[in-house]
Amino acid sequence: MIRFLILLTFLFSSCIKNQINTRVNIIPKPVKLNLKNGIYDLSKETKFIFDSIFTNEVEYLKSIFPFKIGNKENIIQFIKNQDLQVEEYRINILKTKITIEASSEKGAMHAIQSFRQLLPNKFYKNNASLQCLEIHDYPKFKWRGLLLDCCRHFMEKDFVKKYIDLLAFHKMNILHWHLTEDQGWRIEIDKYPLLTEIGAWRKGLDGKPYGGYYSKEDIKEIVEYARKRNIEVIPEIELPGHSVAAIASYPQFSCTGEKIEVETDWGVFKDIYCAGNDSVFTFLENILDEVIDLFPSKYIHIGGDEAPKFRWKNCNKCQKRIVENNLKDENELQSYFINRIGKYLEKNNKQLIGWDEIMEGGIPKNAIVQSWRGMAGGKLAAENSHYAIMSPTSHCYFDYDLQSIDLEKVYSFDPIPIDLEKNKHNFILGGECNMWSERAPQEKVDSKVFPRILAMSEVLWGKKENNYEDFLTRVENHYPKLEKLGVEYGYEKTPIKFKSNFSDNKFEIEIVKGNKKMEIHYQVDNGAWQEYSKPIEIFKSAKIIAEERNSKRKDIAQKNLEINFHKGLGKKVEYNTNYSTNYPGTGTSSLVNGISGNDSNFRDGQWQGFYGKNVDITVDLKEKINFNELKTSFFQYHLSWIIVPKSVEYLISDDGINFKSIHKIKTDVNPMKEGKFKEPFTHVQNYSARYVRVIAENYGFLPKEHPAAGSKSWLFIDEFSIK
């Protein structure tokens, strides 16, 4: 933390004298800002005048900027203005006086953050000059949050503090702290010490214990640190699902009572708290008692998402609970579970927040719904006069790569559903960006969160205009400040994209830069590196590697493209079964476009997904031709329910109606094989035909040993190569 404060001190300690920041660059953009004539010289002695309500904020400002404290020259005055809303503020910078008006500490803290962002990016000695101006500013949404998942990967205490500072700097006001998961329990509970002795640790990739936890003293320190910056810390204690780490510590609270290990991989797991066992509720209430003592927030998040019902369906206690309480099914049993916990929290003057699954079986009384599976859950909650927080995967999941959610897409987000009646808008509290950490240990978080959180801060503050180009310019001008704050930010858009066009028996490959200023070099088949300036012509199967050369970012962008020439290129594909609109690849030409899917990323835009159904496609080669190799590849990642097919069959026809089976391959791949991988299916033999068909048999329902046993499986296919 000392290093971080030193960086802040350096950030605001020096500036070329009389260098004026005439372009105002504040994120999120203020509601009203007027430039005035004159400059305010920060190098002179400064006198502070303030109401006692602002003591903490004045001391905070002094701690990050080395003012020459005196009794003449300049004045910075904090004025309590009861006519302003809680988070509203005014700043007036005159030649010898700065006034900050607010009705509360929150408004004053927002004003300080705007003041910090007004300072120039270049610094020298102890001098800085500011353009005289006036700001009147306030947020549109009450809830402006970031979820930080410290369970999949433990994050150090000082790192959490760093993010509290960064949230405050950008006028976000909520830290949603995800503290319990299948892969780790991160909060010390005195009554149940095994939660941290066992549940906080899993077997790492090197076989050694991996994890950690926050002591009660750590948590008190972080909560107090946040309070001084007017950030509300809301803990999440997951239930009834995502509870493997707790069950590994105390197996008696599961349906089976069997000893299990803390999970080492990602996904949804079938071992959850037993809903038919009253001792489970005693266990959770005792935990919540200690959580309540640590967190002054009125809110407790209980998760409630992704709770497979496999164990409950096969548990006598759970089935008995369903009968005794006249519940319809396991969904209503989950509602019973959530409602029971909600009543306990309400008795302790706390309000329950849960993911939108908590509405299955009925919306729990007084619950706030956090909508992640699109906007529908939040809309339904609002229509029923329940408050909602919007976190749809479409815009708010910062663990997703830039191909799915880039800076411009976040900037386009509106937390208010377009078809929600105006008289229900007040039930949308705001939104939250989610930093799940399956693919982002601590050292990767910065590049995932930044710069996307800058767009989220502007959206949730309530942008008054939709001008992405202006916003992007301000983001680029903001980067030096992030660098001084030690933020290793990522890219605004997918830094390197390939566009391919096949015609006249050749590919033209265009490399699209995520930013016009980027310098891209490439090589073909391990040849010499060249700077990209025009489309690349490819006449045979090849592998292209492209990378950026002038980036300030920690992780240099690099992307590969594998091109396969074959006789089906660009031919018409008839889909006898339809692919999912969630995973369309590049559309109806995707399987004959000559581009192979990534070996480890089924979201690369080349893979096509089929949910619960076979792949059955026919390629029309336009005329009868000779070929001797048929090849298709399939993806497997069982924790995302993606399983290679049970069998792959190749068929041929001359008329497109009557097909002859020429080869059928049965798979011997274990559906529970760990990891992500690509499985090719190849048949080599001489044939002649106009129509070539492939049928891949979907695995079907996930096996009983799978965490989501009984659910339908996905089938993912990439290029259908005919050579």
Concatenate the DSSP letters of all residues of 328-343 into one string.
Answer: -SHHHHHHHHHHHHHH
Q: Parallel, antiparallel, or unpaired for β 299-303 and 351-355?
A: parallel
C-alpha dist (Å) from residue 287 to 193, 302, 411, 672: 11, 12, 39, 34
Looking up residue 582, the CATH number of its domain turns out to be 2.60.120.260
Please report the sign of the dihedral spanned by the C-alpha atoms of residue 148, residue 415, residue 489, residue 491. Answer: positive
Find where tokens 């310019």 sit: 473
Question: Cα 549 to the chain's mean position, in Å?
Answer: 27
Structural domain contains residue 487: no
Q: Are 619 and 606 in contact (CB under 8 A)?
A: no
Asked whether the beta carbons of 641 and 620 are under 8 A apart, the reply is no
Q: Which residues contact 444 (CB under 8 A, 6 or more apart)?
A: none
* Alpha-carbon distances of 539 from 66, 502, 503, 561, 628, rounded to whole Å: 64, 10, 10, 14, 21
- Which H or E run includes 561? strand 558-563
The CATH number linked to 11 is: 3.30.379.10
130 shares its domain with 147: no
The residues of the chain scoring below 50 in pLDDT are 1-21, 123-125
Do β-strands 143-149 and 174-178 pair in parallel, antiparallel, or remain unpaired?
parallel
Backbone Cα Rg of the chain: 29
| Nearest residue to 255 (alpha-carbon basis) of 181, 316, 324 | 316
Distance CA 495, CA 75 (A): 46
pLDDT of res. 68: 78
The one-letter amino acid at 721: S
- Same domain for 126 and 193? no
Half-sphere exposure of 690 (CA within 13 A, CB side): 9
Q: Is the domain of 163 the same as that of 272?
A: yes
Strands 232-239 and 299-303: parallel
Per-residue buried b or exposed e for 200-212, using 16+ beta carbons within 10 Å of the residue's own CB: bbbeeeeeeebbb
d(CA 162, CA 279): 39
* Residue position matching structure tokens 């120039």: 120
Contact present, 195 and 179 (Cβ < 8 Å): no
Cross-strand partners of 109: none
In a domain, 191, yes or no: yes
Q: Could you tell me if 514 and 583 lie in one domain?
A: no
Distance, first Cα to last Cα, the chain: 61
Asked whether residue 489 is domain-assigned, the answer is: no
Task: Evaluate whether 390 touches 430 at the Cβ level (below 8 Å).
Answer: yes
Provide the domain limits for residue 711. Answer: 567-723
Asked, for residue 699, whether it belongs to a domain, the answer is yes
Classify 573 as helix, strand or coil: strand
Measured between alpha carbons, how far is 42 from 371 in angstroms, rounded to an integer? 46
For residue 274 the two structure tokens come to: 């037993």
Same domain, 425 and 358: yes
Q: What's the rounded Cα separation, in Å, for the pair 359 and 381?
A: 8
Both 546 and 624 in one domain: the answer is no
* Cβ burial, residue 75 (10 Å; 0-12/13-18/19+): middle
Same domain, 520 and 576: no
- Which pLDDT does position 13 carry in this prediction? 39
Which helix (H) or strand (E) element contains residue 38? strand 32-41
| CATH code, 539 | 2.60.40.10
Tell me the DSSP string of 113-171: HHHHHHS-S---TT--EEEEEEEEE--S-SEEEEEEE-SSS---HHHHHHHHHHHHHTT
Same domain, 103 and 212: no
348-to-285, 288, 364 alpha-carbon distances in Å: 10, 10, 17
Categorise residue 21: left if φ over 0, alpha if ψ from -120 to 50, beta otherwise: beta
Return all residues near 55 (Cβ < 8 A) that are at least 6 apart.
none
Rounded CA separation 570/241 (Å): 46
208 occurs within a structural domain: yes
Tell me if 40 is assigned to some domain: yes
Adjacent-strand bridge partners of 431: 144, 390
537 and 599 co-located in one domain? no
599 & 705 share domain: yes
Integer angstrom CA distances of residue 53 from 61, 89, 102, 104: 14, 15, 10, 7
Which residues on neighbouring strands pair with residue 557, listed in sequence order? none
Q: Is 0.95 topped by the overall pTM?
A: no
Two structure tokens written together for 85: 């809303």
What is the secondary structure of 402-452 as a DSSP string? TTTS-HHHHHT--SS-TTS-GGGGGGEEEEEEEE--TT--HHHHHHHHTTH
Cα–Cα distance list, 40 to 80, 127, 131, 458 (Å): 22, 11, 6, 27
Residue 488 belongs to a domain: no
- How far is residue 695's CA from residue 460's CA, in Å, rounded to a whole number? 48
CB distance 35 to 131 below 8 Å: yes
Query: How many whole angstroms separate alpha carbon 20 and alpha carbon 22?
Result: 6
Query: Which of 137, 161, 186 marks a domain boundary?
Result: 137
- The C-alpha atoms of residue 230 and residue 235 are separated, in whole angstroms, by 16
Identify the pLDDT of residue 128.
73
Please identify, among 563, 587, 621, the residue that sits at the C-terminal boundary of a domain: 563
Domain tally, the chain? 4
- Residue written as token pair 């998402």: 305
Give φ, ψ of 703 to 5 degrees: -70, 165
Q: What is the CATH number of the domain that holds 450?
A: 3.20.20.80
- Cis peptide bond N-terminal to 28, omega within 30: yes
Whether residue 578 is found in the same domain as residue 500: no
Nearest to 690 by CA among 654, 717, 719, 660: 654
Residues 593 and 649 placed together within one structural domain of the fold: yes
Distance CA 45, CA 74 (A): 6
* 457-492 as b/e: b if 16+ CB within 10 A: bbbbbbbeeeeeeebbebbeebbebbeebebbbbbb
CB atoms near residue 387 (< 10 Å): 21
418 in a structural domain: yes
Give CA separation, 552 vs 479, 480, 511, 557, 641, in Å.
10, 11, 20, 11, 38
- Single residue among 87, 108, 137 that ends a domain in this structure: 137
